[in-house]
Chains A and B, each alone.
Chain A
Amino acid sequence: MTPGACAVELRGGAVRFRVLTAGTGAPLVYFHSFYERGGWSPLLDRLAARFTVYAPLHPGVAGSTGVEALDDVVDLTLAYDELLSSLGLARAHLLGHFFGAMVAAEIAAVFPARAERLVLASPLGLWRDDAPQADILTLPAEDLPAVLWHDPASETARRWIDLPEDEAANVAAQIESTQRRAAMAKFVWPIPDKGLRKRLHRIGAPTLILWGEEDRTNPVVYGEEWQRRIKGAALKLLPGGHMMLHESPQPAARAITEFLS
């Protein structure tokens, strides 16, 4: 499926979001992980069969700009609130993966009326000294796949890992990857605990937390931590590693659809 795309400018052009859209049904906003390439995926194809899916790209990624104009993750949350208003979405299901799930949780905590239902896949945003997340902003390219993917040799993972052989395209891809991680670093460096734990009690939306059984990026112990901190949240493990939304799109889509219906 090829989603439609639109651009939304905020704050006099200082921040510009590119938003991918497809499907029909109740609105669902998907906030991607910085470790996805592009903003669309087979999971969103499946969800678009039941929902109108909006997938904004974070500033710094594939046509969205304005990282330098955003101070921190709270400022980014305000920008997303402005974006939802611009899209005419007073209220929607919010779904996110890793950094994207941190953003979805922030929106649901700061603007509880925005969230119909909330799905957090391996969310970032909490920190435990006894179980630090992998320092994936820092890991060299050759060490990263084994931490992100349950099976780095799988076809899905290879498509993500392999860079173009053409020299110019290869350099461009490396710079793009650095820029993407630099954008994420702006909001979470050096430790991704930016105060969300003080705001999570404000979340009122029914919440589902998804985790890959073999998540080597964000230890499963955080799943229990999140569940404890959000009233009534359910936790469901999916087959796969940290990238389970891409490794197991079918079970993920089923779990999400069941929860949202």
Chain B
Amino acid sequence: MIRATDGEPMKICFFHLMPYRFLPDDFETRYRSVWVDVPHSLYDPEKTRGLYHEYLDELEFAEQCGFDGLCVNEHHNNAYGLMPSPNLMAATLTRRTSRAAIVVLGNSLAAYNPPLRVAEEFSMLDVLSGGRLVAGFPVGTSMDMNFAYGINPATLRGRYYEAHDLVMQAWTRPEMFSFNGTYTQVRYANIWPQPLQKPHPPVWIPGGGSLETWEWTAKRDYVYCYLSYYGYKRGKATMDGFWDAIGKLGADDNPYRAGFLQLVCVSETDAQAERDYFEHVHYFYQKCLNVWEGFAEAPGYRTLKTLQAGMRPQLGAQASKTRQALDWKKYLDQGYVIAGSPATVRDQLTDCIKSLRVGHLLVLLQIGSMAKDLTLKNTQLFASEVMPHVRGLWPGYKDRWWPSGAQA
């Protein structure tokens, strides 16, 4: 493995969504949404048993290949994300891995009652993993929080901020305390166990692009992760917004303040990449992101300020119209997917990392309907032919947001 000679190597994490791979061919024309009201009749528990183990194998393989972190995340009522509880998946990974960071991106704080549950489970994961946990705190998508979990959009953010305060206090206050919140009241807040990392595991905030989240994340000195499915070219405006918020605070521009999710497909040649991956990429964009417009955003999910800034949801009718016209060339040209030979991928990924200024790159290498053998090929090629060449892109910066028990 090539290491940066000056400063520390940037972190590259293997991100898994755990999609259901067996949606019917006519899914996107027959059913209105992959999320919220996707029918049970399409779900086969026996097939899913196989999928969970296949996907855990892929995450474990990623550690063997040298990835720095393994990412899991939380979705509900969702056929492209079979992880309503990412903590369960993270827990199994603590036993079968020993080196990589366990990056849970994350627990949607407002959904837990009381939110102390998150403080407890993340503490357990941190202790189990020997201090390898990254604690991700997303607000949660509107589909997950407002529709699947019934949380009022008007109070979602208030609940989220309050829950964050409670969790951080539960991790850092030296003694038992009382918490008299608007949404949660606890007379005896006193969680056991406490996390292994001190003062607490690093906090990353996965965001979908709202003004308030940039400012809030920047003020608290957390990592901002943009989990976009639309690639680095479209992600630039969002990441620029975050860096502007950092600039306004007068904080340094350390690239390790930022994370970005990018879909990547590596093969022997550019032409082979299309043959290997096109159908799976297409499955992802046409089926996995087929979300009914009504579910894209509950009224009140975004603040007036964000609406007035003209920021649109990633999903829904407008996004769907844009996606339907996509072929392989357009997926690539518009940066949705970085795909091709190792040399092609190296060049574009370098452009992605530099233009967005990200020190934590999250890559999605299992995409849509990709079966295990192809995912392992993609993972292995990425690790051996691409990863070593981009690690040294941020010389001179220190990653203050990496778990102390993980080995970089």
Chain A positions near chain B (C-beta within 8 angstroms) = 67-68, 135, 137-140, 143, 171, 175, 178-179, 181-186, 189-191
Contacts and interface: CB of A to CB of B under 8 A. Distances in A.
Given A175-B307, A182-B299, A189 B146 contact: yes
Given A138-B294, A139-B294, A140-B293, A185 B154 contact: yes
A178 B294 contact: no
Nearest to B158: A68
A182 B150 contact: no
Nearest to B308: A175
Contacts of A68: 154
Nearest to B296: A140
Given A140-B317, A175-B307, A185 B294 contact: no
A185 B308 contact: no
Contacts of A137: 298-299
A189 B304 contact: no
Contacts of B147: 138, 190
Contact of B153 (A143, A175, A182, A191): A182
Given A138-B298, A179-B304, 20 more contacts: A137-B298, A137-B299, A138-B295, A139-B294, A140-B294, A143-B294, A171-B310, A175-B308, A182-B299, A185-B152, A185-B154, A186-B152, A186-B154, A186-B300, A189-B146, A189-B150, A189-B154, A189-B298, A190-B150, A191-B150
A178 B299 contact: yes
Nearest to B293: A140
A181 to B, nearest CB: 4
Contacts of B153: 182, 185, 189
Counting chain A CB atoms within 10 Å of each CB, the highest count among B147, B150, B298, B304 belongs to B298
- Contact-size category for B: 10 to 19
A185 B155 CA distance: 10
Counting chain B CB atoms within 10 Å of each CB, the highest count among A184, A189, A191 belongs to A189
20 contacts: A138-B147, A138-B295, A139-B294, A140-B294, A140-B317, A178-B299, A178-B307, A179-B304, A179-B307, A181-B299, A182-B153, A182-B154, A183-B300, A185-B152, A185-B153, A185-B154, A185-B298, A186-B154, A189-B150, A189-B152
A137 B150 CA distance: 13
A129 B134 CA distance: 42
B327 to A, nearest CB: 27
Interface string B141-175: 00000110010111100000000000000000000
B300 A185 contact: yes
A41 to B, nearest CB: 23
A189 B301 CA distance: 12
Nearest to A181: B299
Nearest to A175: B307
Interface of B: 146-147, 150, 152-155, 293-295, 298-300, 304, 307-308, 310, 317
A182 B307 CA distance: 12
Nearest to A172: B308
Contacts of A181: 299-300
Contacts of A143: 294
A243 B199 CA distance: 58
A179 B306 CA distance: 12
Contacts of B299: 137, 178-179, 181-182, 184-185
A179 B302 CA distance: 10
A122 B294 CA distance: 23
Contacts of A190: 146-147, 150, 152
A67 B300 CA distance: 11
A182 B294 contact: no
Contacts of A189: 146, 150, 152-154, 298
Contacts of A186: 152, 154-155, 300
Q: Closest 7 interchain pairs by CB?
A: A182-B300, A186-B154, A181-B299, A182-B299, A190-B150, A138-B294, A189-B152
Counting chain A CB atoms within 10 Å of each CB, the highest count among B147, B155, B299 belongs to B299
Nearest to A174: B307
Counting chain B CB atoms within 10 Å of each CB, the highest count among A68, A137, A182, A184 belongs to A182
Nearest to B304: A179
A190 B304 CA distance: 21
Contacts of B304: 175, 179
Contacts of B310: 171
A64 to B, nearest CB: 15
A261 B113 CA distance: 52
Nearest to B317: A140
A124 B294 CA distance: 21
Counting chain A CB atoms within 10 Å of each CB, the highest count among B153, B155, B300, B304 belongs to B300
Contacts of A179: 299, 304, 307
Contacts of A171: 310
A143 B317 CA distance: 13
A188 to B, nearest CB: 9
